[in-house]
Amino acid sequence: MKALRSCLAAVAAAAMACSLAACGGGQADAGRNPDGTISISLAGWTLATRPEFQALADAYHQAHPDVTVELKEYSADDYDKQLIADLSAGKAPDVFPMKNLRMYYTYAEPGALADLSDVAAAYRGDDALRGLDDYTIDGKTYALPYRQDVWVLFYNRTMLAKAGVDAPDGTWTWQDYRNVCARLKRALPEAGYADAYPTYHHTSWQSMPQGIALAQQDRGEAREVFLSGDYTYLKPMYRLLLDMQDQGLTLPYNTVSSSKTTYQSQFGTQKAALLPMATWYLGPLADQQRSGDADRFDWAIAPLPQRTRADTAHPKSFGDPTGFAISGTIGGERLAVAKDFVRWAASEDGALALARTGTLPAYFSDTVLDAFFSRSGLPQDAMSRRAITGSAISPENPVGEATQTIQDELNIAHTSILSETKPLDAALASAAKAINGSGLLPGRQE
Amino acid sequence: MDGTRVSGRAVGRAVGRVAGYAAMAVVCAFILLPFVWMVLSSLKPNNEVFMVPVRWLPSTWHWEHYAQIWTKADMGTWLLNTVFFAVVVMLLQVATGSFAAYGFSKIAFPGRNTLFLVYVATMAVPWQAYMIPQFKMLSVIGLNDTRWSIILLQAFGAFGVFMMKQFYDTIPDELAEAARLDGMSEFGIWARIIVPLSGPSIAALAIITFTNTWNDYMGPLLYLRSPDLYTIQLGLKTFISQYDADYAMIMTGSVLSVLPILVVFLLGQKQFIEGIATSGMKG
Amino acid sequence: MGAQDLAGRGGGARDNSAHVRTLRNRNIRNGLLFIAPNFIGFLVLILIPVVTLFYTSFTKWSALGEPSFNGLANWRRLFADENFKTATLNTLYYAAVHIPLTLALAFGLAVLLNAKIRGRAFFRTVAFFPYITAIVAVAQVWSMMFDPKSGLINQFLGLFVDDLPGWLSSTSWAMPAVIIVGTWREVGYFMILLLAGLQTIPAELYEAAQVDGANGWQRFWHVTVPCMWPTLFFVTVTLTITSLKILDLTLVMTNGGPGISTLVLAQYVYRVAFERADFGYASTVSLMLFFICLAVTMLQFWINNRRERA
């Protein structure tokens, strides 16, 4: 009996210890195989249906025949939950994506990611690579971008033409945008689009409009403003959205959220003539038109409308880069190979492999964009290209210790404001109060 | 009682019965509506599933989704894995649960009430809070991404013990006492007297454990990485990519996923015998 | 009933204390043997991780790296946290309405579907359907029905009242909407458990009651309810715990909104843990949820024990 009891106690203590301690555990840090080959593991999602990760793995292997990149399947939807678990138990793959910037600080801060500052240094001054600076924490870099999406304005040229409304010309302010929508509201039913709205705002995501408002505000650099604890810069965009949903220019938030509307179903089946959305929709829209899942119509993209006419000369938009990071537990030869893969994925070579799959890479060189737009079904006009290359891109989730808390609180404000259950000022004030009270903002730590 | 009153009452009863069945038919339609929506959605082009304005019927009927889910996706593997997990967990939960419940219900030992309360208390802790420590523990012994992880995770919950113990409490203690005086071992009493009397409760526990394991998403999400270990719930999530999703396929899979549960349910509820059971006291 | 009573009664035939002691020891051994297969798994896989919460609730921990002790900081934060306060009230609101409603409906349905009616197996299956229908489909169809303008529910209510509820787009009506769907979804589940319990009632008791001239209602109160007591107790405790821990439904239907009007404690734990990667504070919040559950459950156990003794 006593022996049993002490045995149980020992098991319990051991189990408890390893459930909390930072169990390195980790895989045996194998270097190269005897024949000189080495394989590194790479996390990816929707491997069966999206060629993005496979294309990178194959192209890298082709350029470096001694290295095999093995893909490990993760959930696209709940990726961060799986990654947190794996990193906490030391079971993460060698290389894994940072889906966006929201969780980046959480991973980097406790040392779960390898320091890639030396790799990043190779790209300093290379303007073609977008999003690199977003990964800087205290002068160090723990991930390199390989994809960079930008928010733009999608428009259905066929619908606009039938309604007799001019297509966006890259000089629109939000006021122009609103006026066009008002004209479309009158013209669309006569043009034969009975149940269509002028535009669709995908307000299930707080980035519509918070990402836009942060990118286009004139108070200062996005990261500083975001971490300042003052969120009144969001007001003009929210006033616009509230006004537009009250005027019936777009599907109201309450419908969008309760019916889980997808933007593809609204724009792809011509239920909306305009759509502010990110470039990740370009490839899928072209594909869906080919497969018949979306209607066939003529469409293109333009830069997002701007706050002032002057801004339209240098449009401001937003979008988080997607990057690759390396597990902090690996070292030696393995780390060197992993670093080279991450460097390559950010380069023009990696970008070309990616661009051919219909994914917009982070390396915006002419060659890469040519490759990207060569995919059939994508718009070929100069404005569509300018919408991508000409926009200054702010991060959606500027990196800091408070990032997740800020976004969570601002999301609560977002649903209160757009459901019109709480006045704009009050909702933003209570979010600011909670964020400032968290003690996580820079310079305000306990 | 004269004839007219009897027939009057009979007519009234018949009308009442028809009205009762009509009411139940309406209620059934109401209850099945989301399932009907699921079936119709599985036959739609993807963009019509979450479209506004809502449309109930597909513009074109895509019966081929039910073929594609087996060929383009790995539904066969997912199905086999899910059946394996659900059956093993169900057997373990029923076996260890009813075994432990016998100890709690029919054997008096000091501290059993406290221990029992500890069991029940753990049910009150949200899993999201302790899943990471649990994951780390199982990973240290190398059980992450193995079949064992899901089995161990699900098989020892307090639910089965609590449920079976309460059912055993309804069986008179005298039955066990009498058998003890006859010199029967405790195991014999459990196997030959108590278990045969608890058919309906074992069936209920089996149905519920099977359903919960079958529909579990977070457990497999956290523990399984290899596609050849995926369950249906986890597999269906591969239709969701970063910014869009194939909802029609998800609905197709969800419809198919309901069928095995129905089979288990129909088998299990046969244990709920006609009308009221005769008690164990007779037997 | 106490362990002593049972041991004493078992040895009643030959009353001597030595025998009582052997019986007691035998009972301990047998009891532990029966419990062991489940208990060992339970201890290692559930109890130990749960116990670690008591430590992590006093730490700052992002799940990566080791938890660092930060004293009472999480607990102080808890009592100033508006989200936590609202989530607690929402949880209690949900539980207070959902528990009695579900229990009454599930019990009624179980009794009804235990009677000899035609198509019983079919109706039982239908009643179980909401529990096995994909939750996305459930949320979607109910959202359509709750639509303030075009939804079936308001069109029906519109026949009687003018001031129609806004349901999911209103902070005061979103929770009732969630409760309705939660009840609709879980009635079949608890019906199964209660059906199993109904099977254990000896038919003789009903016959005896009938001979005594008891009507249907009296038979229900004086035969069904007392015989079902252990099952009812189990169902009530389970229902209480699942209601206080409700998560998946609000996650899919409202995601806690509008604002935080349907944010419940379990979802707050989930948010703090996975949206904010603050597992230390998530432990603190989940311990509070645990204490609430425990207090209610203990109360139920206490009532149950009193009743059994009476």
CA distance, residue C163 to nearest chain B CA (Å): 25
| Residue A21 CB neighbour total at 10 angstroms | 13
**What pTM value is reported for the model?**
0.89
Rounded Cα distance between A235 and B141, Å, is 53
Count helices and strands in chain A by DSSP H and E runs? 19, 13
Which tokens sit at B110?
């000091």
> Which candidate from C7, C196, C294 shows the least CB-CB separation from B124?
C294
B177 contacts in C (CB within 8 Å)? 10
Is the distance from CB of A105 to CB of A399 less than 8 angstroms? yes
Pick from B153, B170, B200: CB nearest C230: B170
Determine the residue of chain A that is closest to B131 in CA distance. A85
Shared-domain flag, residues C137 and C211: yes
Domain count of chain B?
2
Asked whether the beta carbons of residue A75 and residue B50 sit closer than 8 angstroms, the reply is no
Query: Residues A189, A320: contact at Cβ < 8 Å?
Result: no
Report residue A259's pLDDT band, with 50, 70 and 90 as the boundaries: confident
C54: amino acid identity, one letter: F
Is residue B104 included in any domain, yes or no?
A: yes
Phi-psi region of A270 (alpha: psi -120 to 50; beta: other; left: phi over 0): left
Nearest-angstrom CA–CA distance, B263 and B256: 12
Tokens for B7? 């027939």
Q: How many CA atoms lie within 13 A of A441 on its CB side?
A: 18
CA distances from C6 to B170, B232, C1, C20 (A): 16, 48, 7, 10
B182 burial class (0-12, 13-18, 19+ CB within 10 angstroms)? exposed
Shortest Cα–Cα distance, A307 to chain B (Å): 27
Short-list C255, C134, B35, CA closest to A257: C255
Predicted local confidence at residue A374, as pLDDT: 92
CA dist C154 and C142 (Å) reads 12
Query: What is the average pLDDT value for chain A, to the nearest integer?
Result: 91
Q: Is residue B239 less than 8 Å (CB to CB) from chain A?
A: yes
For residue A301, the surrounding DSSP H or E stretch is strand A299-303
Nearest to B122 by CA among A120, C219, C294, A104: C294
Q: Is B180 on the interface with C (CB under 8 A)?
A: yes
Say if CB B167 and CB C231 are below 8 A apart: yes
pLDDT of A118 higher than 70: yes
The total number of structural domains that make up chain C: 2
Cβ neighbours of A138 (radius 10 Å) = 6
Is B225 part of the contact surface with chain A (CB cutoff 8 Å)?
yes
Q: What are phi and psi of A409, to 5 degrees?
A: -70, -40
Give the span between the Cα atoms of A183 and A199, in whole angstroms.
Answer: 12
The DSSP element (H or E) to which C69 belongs, if any, is strand C68-69
Domain residue ranges in chain A? 2-146+322-364, 151-317+398-436
Task: Write out the two tokens for B164.
Answer: 């079976």
Q: What is the CATH number for C257?
A: 1.10.3720.10
* Residues C35 and C85 both lie in one domain: no
pLDDT (0 to 100) of residue C3: 37
Residue C27 distance to chain B (closest CA, Å): 6
DSSP secondary structure letter of residue B274: S
Query: How many whole angstroms separate alpha carbon C87 and alpha carbon C269?
Result: 10
Query: Quick one: CA dihedral C206, C207, C208, C210, positive or negative?
Result: positive
Amino acid occupying residue A149? D
ipTM computed for the complex: 0.86
Pairs of residues, one from chain A and one from chain C, whose beta carbons lie less than 8 Å apart: 107
Distance between CA atoms of residues B135 and C92, nearest Å? 30
Amino acid at B100: A
Of B237, B224, B235, C269, which Cα lies nearest the Cα of A78?
Answer: B237
d(CA B214, CA C232): 26
Taking alpha carbons only, the member of B99, B206, B204, B108 closest to residue B161 is B99
* Cβ–Cβ contact B22 with C under 8 A: no
CA C269 to chain centre: 18
Burial class of residue A263, CB neighbours in 10 A (0-12, 13-18, 19+)? buried
pLDDT band per the 50, 70, 90 thresholds, residue B158: confident
How many CB atoms sit inside 10 A of residue A110's CB?
20
Whether C195 contacts chain B with CB within 8 A: yes
In a domain, B223, yes or no: yes
Q: Does residue B195 surpass a pLDDT of 90?
A: no
Given the DSSP bridges, would you call strands A136-137 and A140-141 parallel, antiparallel or unpaired?
A: antiparallel
Q: What is the pLDDT averaged over residues A154-171?
A: 95
For residue range A305-329, what is the model confidence (pLDDT) as tens digits? 999 999 999 999 999 999 999 999 9
User: Is residue B152 one of the residues assigned to a domain?
Assistant: yes
Q: How far is A41 from A68, CA to CA, in rounded Å?
A: 8
Backbone angles phi, psi at A142, to 5 degrees: -115, 0
* Domain encompassing residue B174: 67-278
- How far away is chain A from the Cα of B222, in angstroms, using its nearest Cα? 5
Residue B282 has pLDDT above 70, yes or no: no
Does residue B47 lie within any of the structural domains? no
Name the residue with tokens 């990193």: A87
Sign of the dihedral through C-alpha B32, B33, B35, B36: positive
Q: Which range of residues forms the domain containing residue C165?
A: 80-309
Pairing status of strand A321-326 against strand A299-303: unpaired
A44 and A71 in contact (C-beta within 8 Å)? yes
- pLDDT, position A30: 65
The model's pLDDT over A335-385, given as tens digits with 9 standing for 90+, comes to 999 999 999 999 999 999 999 888 999 999 999 999 999 988 999 999 999
C296 and C223 inside one domain: yes
pLDDT bracket for residue B20 (50, 70, 90): confident
pLDDT in tens, C31-49: 888 888 888 888 888 888 8
* Coil, helix or strand at residue A249: coil
Among A117-121, B61-65, B119-123, which is the least confidently predicted range? Answer: B119-123
CB contact under 8 A, C46 and B158: yes
Residue of A198, B42, A323 whose CA lies nearest to C134: B42
Q: Is residue C63 a part of any domain in this protein?
A: no
Residue C120 vs residue A160, higher pLDDT: A160
Bridge-based pairing state of the strands C59-60 and C68-69 = antiparallel
Is there a single domain that holds both residue B269 and residue B158?
Answer: yes
CATH code of the domain containing B84: 1.10.3720.10
Predicted local confidence at residue C229, as pLDDT: 87
Helix, strand or coil for residue A152?
Answer: strand
Q: In chain C, which stretches have pLDDT less than 50?
A: 1-14
CB-based burial, A273-308: b 16+ in 10 Å, e otherwise: bbbbbbbbbbbbbbebbeeebbeebebbbbbbbbbe
Q: For an interface test with B, give the residue of A20, A41, A46 to mutate (most B CBs within 10 A).
A: A46
Distance of alpha carbon C116 from alpha carbon C94, whole angstroms: 35
**Closest Cβ–Cβ partner in A19, A195, A265 for B50:** A265
Q: What fold, for A2-146+322-364? A: D-Maltodextrin-Binding Protein; domain 2 (3.40.190)
Give CA–CA dist B71/B91, Å, rounded: 31
Rounded distance, CA A378 to CA A388, Å?
Answer: 13
- Which residue is associated with the tokens 């403003």? A225
* CA pair distance C92, C86, nearest whole angstrom: 10
Residues 260-319 in A contacting C (C-alpha not used; CB under 8 Å)? 260
**Gap between the terminal Cα atoms of chain B:** 40
List Cβ<8 Å contacts ≥24 apart for C144-150: C144/A259, C144/B54, C146/A258, C146/C177, C147/A255, C147/A258, C148/A254
Q: Which chain A residues contact residue C66 at CB under 8 A?
A: 20-22
Q: Which two tokens stand for residue A282?
A: 């370009």
The class of domain A151-317+398-436 in CATH terms is alpha beta
| C145 and C200 belong to one structural domain | yes
Q: What is the pLDDT of residue C161?
A: 86
Give me the phi and psi of A194, to 5 degrees please. Answer: -65, -45
User: Do B118 and B236 belong together in one domain?
Assistant: yes
Are C48 and C117 part of one and the same domain? no
What is the model's pLDDT at position B131? Answer: 87
What spatial distance separates the first Cα and last Cα of chain A, rounded to whole Å? Answer: 50
Tokens describing residue B95: 């076996």
Q: How many percent of chain B have pLDDT more than 70?
A: 94
| Chain A residues whose beta carbon lies within 8 Å of the beta carbon of residue C62 | 106, 109-110
pLDDT score for C212: 85
Q: Please, how many CA atoms are within 13 Å of residue C47, restricted to the half-sphere of its CB?
A: 21
SS3 A220: coil
The predicted pLDDT at position B279 comes to 39
> Do C25 and C86 belong together in one domain?
no
Tell me, yes or no, whether C240 and C133 share the same domain.
yes
What would the pLDDT profile of A187-238 be if each residue is shown by its tens digit?
Answer: 999 999 988 999 999 999 999 999 999 999 999 999 999 999 999 999 999 9
What DSSP designation does A306 have?
B
